[in-house]
Structure 1
Amino acid sequence: ESVFWLRVEGAHSQPSIQTIQEQLGSLAGVSDVRGSLQECAVMVTYRPLLVTQQALKEHIRDLGFSSWSLADAALSCWQEVSSDWSAHSVTLCIAGMTCSSCSSSIQERISQMGGVKSIAVSLSDGTATVTFDPRLTEAELLQAAIEEMGFEASVQECANGRLSPNRTRRTTVENGVGPQVTRRPEVRTQRCFIAVTGMTCASCVGNIERKLRSHGGITAVFVSLMAAKAEVTYDPDSIGAAGVARLIEDLGFGATVMDQAAANPGLLELRLSGMTCASCVHKIESKLRSTPGVMAATVSLATNRAQVRYHPEAVGARDLLAIIQDLGFQAELEKTGLKQNLDHSKEILQWRNSFLLSLVFGLPVMGLMVYMMVMDSQMQNHGGAMPEDQNLVPGLSLLNLAFFLLCTPVQIFGGRYFYIQAYRALQHRTANMDVLIVLATSIAYVYSCVVLVVAMAEQAQQSPTTFFDTPPMLFVFIALGRWLEHIAKSKTSEALAKLISLQASDATVVTLGPDGAVLSEEQVELDLVQRGDVIKVLPGGKFPIDGRVTEGSSTADESLITGPGEPMPVSKKVGSLVLAGSINGHGALLVEATHVGGDTTLSQIVRLVEEAQLSKAPIQKLADRLGGLFVPFILVVSLLTLAAWLLVGFSHFHLVEQHFPGYNQSISRAEVVRLTFQASITVLSIACPCSLGLATPTAVMVGTGVGARNGILIKGGEPLEMAHKIQAVMFDKTGTLTNGVPRVTRVLVLWEPARLPLRKILALVGTAEASSEHPLGVAVAAHCRQELGSDLLGCCQDFQAVPGCGISCRVSNVDHLLVQEASRDGSSLVPEQEGPAPGASSVAGPDLQLTPSGESYWVLIGNREWLRRNGHRVEADMDAAMASHEAKGQTAVLVAIDGTLCAMLAVADTVKAESALAVQTLSSMGVQVVMITGDNRRTAKAIAAQVGIGKVFAEVLPSHKVAKVQELQEAGLRVAMVGDGVNDSPALAQADVGIAIGTGTDVAIEAADIVLIRNDLLDVVASIELSRKTVRRIRINFVFALIYNLLGIPVAAGSGAFLPVGLVLQPWMASAAMAASSLSVLLSSLLLKTYRKTPAEFYEARARGHTRSLRSSQISTHLGGVDSVQPCPAL
Structure 2
Amino acid sequence: MTGWTRSRVSAPASRATGRPLRGTGADTAGVWRAAAVEAVRKLDPRVQARNPVLLVVWTGAVLVTGLAITGPSVFAVLVALWLWFTVLFANLAEAVAEGRGRAQAASLRAARRDTVAQRLPHGTDLNTDPGTGPATGPGTAAPVTPVPASELRVGDLVVVEAGETVPGDGDVVHGVASVDESAVTGESAPVIREAGGDRSAVTGGTTVLSDRIVVRITTRPGETVVDRMIALVEGASRARTPNEIALGVLLSALTIVLLLAVVAIAPMSAYAGERVPLVVLTALLVCLIPTTIGALLSAIGIAGMDRLVRRGVLATSGRAVEAAGDVDTLLLDKTGTVTHGNRRATALHPVGGTTPDELAAAARLASLADPTPEGRSIVELCASGYGLPAGADAAEALATAVPFSARTRMSGIDLDGVAVRKGAAGAVLEWACGAGDRAEVDRLVETVSDAGGTPLVVATDPGGGAVEGGEARLLGVVELSDVVKPGIAERFAELRAMGVRTVMVTGDNPRTAAVIAARAGVDEHLAEATPEDKLALIRREQSGGRLVAMTGDGTNDAPALAQADVGVAMNTGTAAAKEAGNMVDLDSDPTKLVDIVEIGKQLLITRGALTTFSVANDLAKYFAILPAMFAALYPPLGALDVMGLATPQSAVLSAVIFNALVIVALIPLALRGVRYRPSSAAALLRRNLLVYGIGGVLTPFVGIALIDLVVRLIPGV
Taking structure 1 as reference, are residues 588 and 352 closer, same or farther at Cα in structure 2, changes over 3 Å only?
Answer: farther
2:667 counterpart (1082, 1089, 1098): 1082
User: Could you say which residue in structure 2 is the equivalent of 1:559?
Assistant: 182
Which runs of structure 2 are paired with 1:100-111 in the superposition (5 Å)? none
Point out where structure 1 has 5 or more consecutive residues left out of the alignment: 1-341, 355-414, 453-463, 651-671, 815-855, 1093-1131
User: Could you say which residue in structure 1 is the equivalent of 2:493?
Assistant: 923
User: Could you say which residue in structure 1 is the equivalent of 2:474?
Assistant: 903
- Indicate conservation of the 8 Å contact 2:354/2:475, yes or no: no
TM-score (normalizing by structure 2): 0.66
- Indicate conservation of the 8 Å contact 1:444/1:467, yes or no: no
- Indicate conservation of the 8 Å contact 1:984/1:1004, yes or no: yes
Deviation at 1:725, TM superposition (A): 4.5
Deviation at 1:706, TM superposition (A): 2.0
SS of the equivalent of 1:581 reads coil
Which runs of structure 2 are paired with 1:1006-1045 in the superposition (5 Å)? 1006-1016=579-589, 1018-1045=591-618
- Indicate conservation of the 8 Å contact 1:1037/1:1084, yes or no: no
SS of the equivalent of 1:934 reads coil
Asked if 1:934 is matched to 2:497, the reply is no
| Higher mean C-alpha displacement, 860-869 vs 799-808 | 799-808
What one-letter code is carried by the residue in structure 2 that aligns with 1:558? Answer: E
Asked if 1:686 is matched to 2:298, the reply is no
Give the structure with the larger strand fraction.
Answer: 1
- Indicate conservation of the 8 Å contact 2:83/2:660, yes or no: no
- Indicate conservation of the 8 Å contact 2:201/2:574, yes or no: no
User: Could you say which residue in structure 2 is the equivalent of 1:1060?
Assistant: 641
User: Could you say which residue in structure 1 is the equivalent of 2:531?
Assistant: 958
1:701 counterpart (302, 306, 323): 302
Which runs of structure 2 are paired with 1:110-509 in the superposition (5 Å)? 348-349=36-37, 352=40, 433-434=54-55, 436-439=57-60, 441-442=62-63, 445=66, 449=70, 469=77, 472-474=80-82, 476-478=84-86, 480-481=88-89, 484-485=92-93, 487-494=95-102, 496-497=104-105, 500-508=108-116
- Indicate conservation of the 8 Å contact 1:619/1:696, yes or no: no
2:350 counterpart (723, 731, 748): 748
Structure 2 distance, partners of 1:809, 1:350, is 63
SS of the equivalent of 1:895 reads strand
Structure 2 distance, partners of 1:505, 1:727, is 42
What one-letter code is carried by the residue in structure 2 that aligns with 1:442? Answer: L
Structure 1 distance, partners of 2:38, 2:113, is 29
Deviations 1:43-95 (A, max 9, x none): xxxxxxxxxxxxxxxxxxxxxxxxxxxxxxxxxxxxxxxxxxxxxxxxxxxxx
Asked if 1:892 is matched to 2:456, the reply is yes
Deviations 1:326-365 (A, max 9, x none): xxxxxxxxxxxxxxxx9899984375599xxxxxxxxxxx
- Indicate conservation of the 8 Å contact 1:937/1:955, yes or no: yes
User: Could you say which residue in structure 1 is the equivalent of 2:550?
Assistant: 977
What one-letter code is carried by the residue in structure 1 that aligns with 2:89? Answer: G
- Indicate conservation of the 8 Å contact 1:543/1:584, yes or no: yes
Structure 2 distance, partners of 1:421, 1:954, is 54
1:872 counterpart (434, 443, 465): 434
Taking structure 1 as reference, are residues 516 and 699 closer, same or farther at Cα in structure 2, changes over 3 Å only?
Answer: farther
What one-letter code is carried by the residue in structure 1 that aligns with 2:392? Answer: S
Structure 2 distance, partners of 1:763, 1:909, is 14
What one-letter code is carried by the residue in structure 2 that aligns with 1:911? Answer: D
Structure 1 distance, partners of 2:490, 2:524, is 14
TM-score (normalizing by structure 1): 0.44
What one-letter code is carried by the residue in structure 1 that aligns with 2:526? Answer: F
What one-letter code is carried by the residue in structure 2 that aligns with 1:626? Answer: L
Deviation at 1:1035, TM superposition (A): 2.5
Structure 1 distance, partners of 2:236, 2:432, is 50
Structure 2 distance, partners of 1:584, 1:808, is 32
1:811 counterpart (405, 409, 414): 414
User: Could you say which residue in structure 2 is the equivalent of 1:15?
Assistant: none
User: Could you say which residue in structure 1 is the equivalent of 2:701?
Assistant: none
Deviation at 1:718, TM superposition (A): 3.4
User: Could you say which residue in structure 2 is the equivalent of 1:840?
Assistant: none
Taking structure 1 as reference, are residues 760 and 1036 closer, same or farther at Cα in structure 2, changes over 3 Å only?
Answer: closer
Deviation at 1:625, TM superposition (A): 0.6
User: Could you say which residue in structure 1 is the equivalent of 2:392?
Assistant: 790
Taking structure 1 as reference, are residues 905 and 944 closer, same or farther at Cα in structure 2, changes over 3 Å only?
Answer: farther
Deviations 1:205-248 (A, max 9, x none): xxxxxxxxxxxxxxxxxxxxxxxxxxxxxxxxxxxxxxxxxxxx
- Indicate conservation of the 8 Å contact 1:431/1:632, yes or no: no
What one-letter code is carried by the residue in structure 2 that aligns with 1:469? Answer: V
Structure 1 distance, partners of 2:310, 2:569, is 17
Structure 2 distance, partners of 1:1013, 1:1038, is 33
What one-letter code is carried by the residue in structure 1 that aligns with 2:101? Answer: S
- Indicate conservation of the 8 Å contact 2:555/2:577, yes or no: yes
Taking structure 1 as reference, are residues 791 and 700 closer, same or farther at Cα in structure 2, changes over 3 Å only?
Answer: farther
Structure 1 distance, partners of 2:117, 2:674, is 39
User: Could you say which residue in structure 2 is the equivalent of 1:580?
Assistant: 204
1:628 counterpart (229, 252, 256): 252
Deviation at 1:895, TM superposition (A): 1.5
Deviations 1:761-795 (A, max 9, x none): 468745xx73x788767776888897474265366
Deviation at 1:746, TM superposition (A): 2.0
Structure 2 distance, partners of 1:589, 1:798, is 28
Structure 1 distance, partners of 2:38, 2:234, is 25
- Indicate conservation of the 8 Å contact 1:543/1:581, yes or no: yes
Deviation at 1:480, TM superposition (A): 4.5
SS of the equivalent of 2:596 reads helix
User: Could you say which residue in structure 1 is the equivalent of 2:712?
Assistant: none
Taking structure 1 as reference, are residues 811 and 1078 closer, same or farther at Cα in structure 2, changes over 3 Å only?
Answer: same
- Indicate conservation of the 8 Å contact 2:508/2:528, yes or no: yes
Deviation at 1:492, TM superposition (A): 4.7
Taking structure 1 as reference, are residues 783 and 350 closer, same or farther at Cα in structure 2, changes over 3 Å only?
Answer: closer
- Indicate conservation of the 8 Å contact 1:996/1:1008, yes or no: yes
SS of the equivalent of 1:935 reads coil
Structure 1 distance, partners of 2:293, 2:490, is 39
Structure 2 distance, partners of 1:517, 1:810, is 32
What one-letter code is carried by the residue in structure 1 that aligns with 2:268? Answer: A
Taking structure 1 as reference, are residues 1007 and 911 closer, same or farther at Cα in structure 2, changes over 3 Å only?
Answer: farther
1:644 counterpart (259, 263, 268): 268
Taking structure 1 as reference, are residues 867 and 594 closer, same or farther at Cα in structure 2, changes over 3 Å only?
Answer: same
Structure 2 distance, partners of 1:553, 1:804, is 28
- Indicate conservation of the 8 Å contact 2:35/2:96, yes or no: no
Taking structure 1 as reference, are residues 544 and 694 closer, same or farther at Cα in structure 2, changes over 3 Å only?
Answer: farther
Deviations 1:1093-1112 (A, max 9, x none): xxxxxxxxxxxxxxxxxxxx
What one-letter code is carried by the residue in structure 2 that aligns with 1:891? Answer: P
Structure 1 distance, partners of 2:537, 2:622, is 52
Structure 2 distance, partners of 1:735, 1:900, is 37
- Indicate conservation of the 8 Å contact 1:730/1:976, yes or no: yes
* Larger-Rg structure: 1
Give the structure with the larger helix fraction.
Answer: 2
Structure 2 distance, partners of 1:871, 1:593, is 42
User: Could you say which residue in structure 2 is the equivalent of 1:336?
Assistant: none
- Indicate conservation of the 8 Å contact 2:337/2:591, yes or no: no
Deviation at 1:966, TM superposition (A): 5.3
- Indicate conservation of the 8 Å contact 2:75/2:649, yes or no: no
Structure 2 distance, partners of 1:802, 1:543, is 30
How many residues align? The count is 596
Deviations 1:411-448 (A, max 9, x none): xxxx9x65x889xx7xx9x9664455435643674598
- Indicate conservation of the 8 Å contact 1:534/1:591, yes or no: yes
| Percentage of pairs with the same residue | 23
What one-letter code is carried by the residue in structure 1 that aligns with 2:182? Answer: S
Deviation at 1:701, TM superposition (A): 1.7
Deviation at 1:506, TM superposition (A): 1.0
